Structure formats: C-alpha cells, structure tokens
Structure 1
Amino acid sequence: MRWTSALAIYILFWSLSVFLVLPFGVRTTREAGGDLVPGQAESAPHEFHAGRIAWRVTIVATILFVLFLLNYTYGWVTPQSVDLFGRKSMITR
C-alpha cells in the first residue's frame, strides 16, 4: 500500500472517529450546575475542549487504523470469509 493511500484511509478513520468520540464525556450546563443563557439549547455542552476531543479522536483513529493495516497485511478477514449470500464465484482476487 502506498503511503498516500494509507494517509487517505487514516483521514477517513479519523473523521469517522469524531462521531464515535463526541458523545462521550459531555456535560450539559444543567448537569454542571450552571445557568442557561437565553437562547441556549439545553443539550449544549457546558464547556467544549477541542484539544481533548482531538486527542481522543486521534487515539481511537490510530487504533482502528492499526487494526485495518494488520488485517490488510495478514488477511484475517477477506471478502470470501464474509460471503453471506454464497456468491464466491463473483468475487475475484
């Protein structure tokens, strides 16, 4: 695999990981014991730490990418192993 392809796949894993990480560790203003500002949504986070979120996303994306790269190298899961409809003749290597 070329390094440019690996970088593009890592970026895809990183952008997917954002949606996996964002819901965790969020406290609303009401949960933090603060007062809502007029016009503020009740579900809005009390404090947003972009650096902390980016660090968590990078860790998750790196783990997922390493698993992907190991599978690419060693071939643990192949299209033939997940053939659910018995169409092995349509899959070419």
Structure 2
Amino acid sequence: MSLVGGIVIFCISWWMCLFIVLPIGVRGQFEAGEIPEGTEEGAPAEPMLAKKAIWATIGAAVCTVLAGLVVVPLLRYYGA
C-alpha cells in the first residue's frame, strides 16, 4: 500500500468512525432541562466534539493498520 493509499484509507476511516461515535453519550436539551430560546429542544446540550474527534482518530488509526495488514500481503501475493 502506498503512502497516498494509506492517507485515503485513514481519511475515509476517520469519517466513518466519527459518524459512529457522534450519537454516543448525547443528551438532548429537553433531557437536560435547559432549552435556550430559539433552539430546537432535540439539539444536543453538550456535543463533546473534541472528545469524539479524538476517539474517531484512534478508531481510524486502528482501521488503517488493519487494512494495511490485509492489503499488503494481498498485493505481494498477486504481484502488484
């Protein structure tokens, strides 16, 4: 796997992992009891995006390593 291929796999994995962790631990404003005027009551009270971006990065790194462990031997076997 080339460097560019690894970067592409990491970027795709990062977005997939981000979408997986986004709903984890989210409480709506109606659950928290505080609904600021002009906002939707179902909007997250505290989205914790920085923490979720870190988890997405860790997950994407693991997925990229796993993909590399699968792709590199296949490329060697088929002579590409």
More helix by share: 2
Instruction: Give the letter aligned to residue 2 of structure 2.
Output: R
Q: Cα deviation per residue 1:5-54 (whole Å; 9 max; x = unaligned)?
A: 2112111111121111101111112222x321222112211012221011
Distance 2:35 2:17 in 1: 30
Q: Larger relative CO (CA 8 A, sep 6+): 1 or 2?
A: 2
Residue equivalent to 2:9: 9
Match of 2:71 in 1: 72
Aligned residue-pair number? 75
- The question of 1:49 aligning with 2:48 is answered yes
Distance 2:28 2:44 in 1: 5
Structure 2 segments unaligned to the other structure (5+ residues):
75-79
Structure whose alpha-carbon radius of gyration is higher = 1
Query: Scaled by the length of structure 2, what TM-score is found?
Result: 0.77
RMSD: 1.8
Q: Identity percentage over the alignment?
A: 33
Shift of 1:65: 1.5
TM-score in terms of structure 1 length: 0.68
